[in-house]
Amino acid sequence: MSYDLVIFDNDGVLVDSEPISNRVLAEYLTELGFPTTIEDSYRDYMGCAAHKVHDVIGERHGATLPQGFDDLFHARVFAAFEQELTPVRGAERLLKTLQQQGVPYCLASSAHHAWIRTALDRTGLRGLLAEERIFSAQDVGVGKPAPDLFLHAARTLGVAPQRCLVIEDSPNGVLAARAAGMDVYGYTALTDPAKLTAAGATGLLADLDLVPALLA
Residues marked as catalytic: 9, 11
Q: Own/partner pairs for 130-133, CB < 8 Å, 24+ apart?
A: 132/156, 133/105, 133/106, 133/107, 133/157
Specify burial of residue 142 (Cβ count, 10 A radius: 0-12, 13-18, 19+): middle
- Give the sheet arrangement for strand 134-136, strand by strand: 134-136, 105-109, 5-8, 164-168, 183-187, 203-205
| Helix (H) or strand (E) run with residue 8 in it | strand 5-8
Q: Give the three-state DSSP class for 187.
A: strand
In contact, 18 and 12? CB cutoff 8 Å: yes
To 5 degrees, how large is the angle CA 141–CA 50–CA 116?
A: 85
| CA dist list (Å): 55 to 60, 97, 183 | 9, 40, 29
